[in-house]
Amino acid sequence: MRKIIKIDQSLCNGCGECITACAEGAIELKEGKARVVSDSFCDGLGVCLAVCREGALTIEEREALQFDEKAAKEHQRTAQKHEHKHHAKGADAAAAAVTPCTLPITLKQDPGTPASSRHEMTKSGVAGENELIGWPIQMRLVRPWAPYLQGARLLVAGDCTAFAYPTIQQDFIKGRVALVGCPKLDETAPFVDKLTEILKANEIRDITVLHMTVPCCTQLEILVAEAVLRSGKDVPQKSYVVGIDGKLNQE
């Protein structure tokens, strides 16, 4: 008898967020529903519960195979190779992947690509350049092993900063991997866990934190500092604050 995850299929909407939250790879998406791959891959700690907005995940105590950390890691390696293989085959294969919304995509393979090839005309008729290096950008959806994270400079930004600060692309996103989240709306524990995984799995050069001046957003800096501490790595950090009037201040 031990504690283990239970998934209510009637409540699951197939969003896949629990898959991203599960560091052991114990959950998969099958026929549009989240399912446990194997009891032996689930440690029963329930980190995935925090990201399920439908309440489909609970912890129950029942007879189950013991958690096998070695087998779970091997399963993770196999799954990662599978996703990399699908990604290499192009957009059609990526669309058919188990969790397409979390499949890492490198958007700017060569920083030296002529800017004109990446320009789009804005509504005002002025050319604007998309400086995103990788996708997805939501912290909870990012895969820690995504190729574009290795040796990267990170921008950890509050969701609202992109709307409040007009030149965020050129001033902050350019040259950095953008990761976004909201300390008020997101579960903070999974946020810290994910960033800690990213830092442990990659050599991150530095982290720039960009948050709004409002009280709920200032916690972002604390969450980043906690993740750096837990990673055991010495990663330089710098913080900037955006006012609701769009003005920028460095802390």
List, for residues 130-141, the tens digit of each pLDDT value.
899 998 999 988
DSSP-assigned letters across all residues of 150-182 = TTPEEEEEETTHHHH-TTHIIIIITTSEEEEE-
Enumerate the CATH 3.30.70.20 domain ranges in the chain, comma separated. 2-101
Pick 104-250's CATH classification: 3.10.450, 3.40.50, 1.10.8, 2.40.50. 3.40.50
Measured distance between the N- and C-terminal CA atoms of the chain, rounded to whole angstroms:
51
Read off φ and ψ for residue 136, nearest 5 degrees: -80, 170
Tokens for 245?
């009037």
CATH 3.40.720.10 fits 2-101, yes or no: no
Q: Model's pTM, two decimal places?
A: 0.59
Instruction: Kindly indicate the confidence band of residue 100, based on its pLDDT and cuts at 50, 70 and 90.
Output: low
pLDDT per residue over 227-240, tens digit each?
Answer: 999 999 999 999 99
Collapse the DSSP code of 35 into the 3-class scheme (helix H, G, I; strand E, B; otherwise coil) and give the result. strand
Enumerate the CATH 3.40.50 domain ranges in the chain, comma separated. 104-250
Please say if the pLDDT value at position 98 is more than 70. Answer: no
Q: What's the mean pLDDT in 188-213?
A: 93
C-alpha to C-alpha distance for 159 and 30, rounded to whole angstroms: 31
